[in-house]
Amino acid sequence: MPKVTAGLFISLDGVIADPPEWHFPYFNDEMGAAVTAQLGAADTMLLGRATYDAFAGAWPQREAAGAADATLAKSFGDARKIVVSHQRLEFVWRNSEQLKGDLLAAVAELKQQPGGSDIAISGSVSIVRQLLAAGLIDELHLFVHPLALRTGERLFDEGSPLPLRLLSAQPFTTGVVHLVYGPQGDAPTGDYNDAKAHLPQ
């Protein structure tokens, strides 16, 4: 069964806005391998309109240029790209289509399709929030950067608590930490009386 994975660059204080403004100084071979593993393992990409426009405005030209990132650019071009938008869209990048119907129902259906590989999301924060709340994201990849931006849109807005389960944690030499979370289900319970049993005696 395909997994849904989402990857986001995020600051220590939870900001995900405008990563080109602050992210690239921290990009190294370790992060390149991790990002490629998350996105390159997918034969389907689910993208919001803004993220799709940014990708479509860059990756086809990078593929045609044949530079160092051409292989990744080709994999993006070959992938099925499903774009979530309330506006009617016209596409020039190959293998692109607009999501039809309800987002949650469509993703739940995609997850039930036999065969195929992962469904990857890059950025597209509104989509990530909705799918997280519905329990439809199997792996949330957060690349936590060692800086506090102190302003800008954050990943988690106001609402009910969202318990997650840590699947893996990998620090990079730049100070970025790659955290992978999955759904937890019910939040753990306990109080100070439970916690104090774990204090040194």
pLDDT for the residue 145 = 98
Tell me how far apart the terminal alpha carbons of the chain are, to the nearest angstrom.
48
As a residue count, the chain comes to 201
Q: Say how far apart CA 78 and CA 93 lie, in whole Å.
A: 10
Beta strands in 40-154 (DSSP E): 42-48, 80-84, 96-98, 118-122, 139-145
What domains does the chain contain, in order, with CATH numbers? 4-198 (3.40.430.10)
pLDDT for the residue 157 = 81
pLDDT for the residue 40 = 83
Q: Say how far apart CA 109 and CA 1 lie, in whole Å.
A: 11
Average pLDDT, 10 consecutive residues per value, the chain (201 residues): 94 95 96 93 92 95 92 93 93 95 94 85 94 95 97 88 95 98 88 90 81
pLDDT for the residue 113 = 84
Tokens of 112: 């039930």
Max CA pair span of the chain: 66
pLDDT for the residue 15 = 96
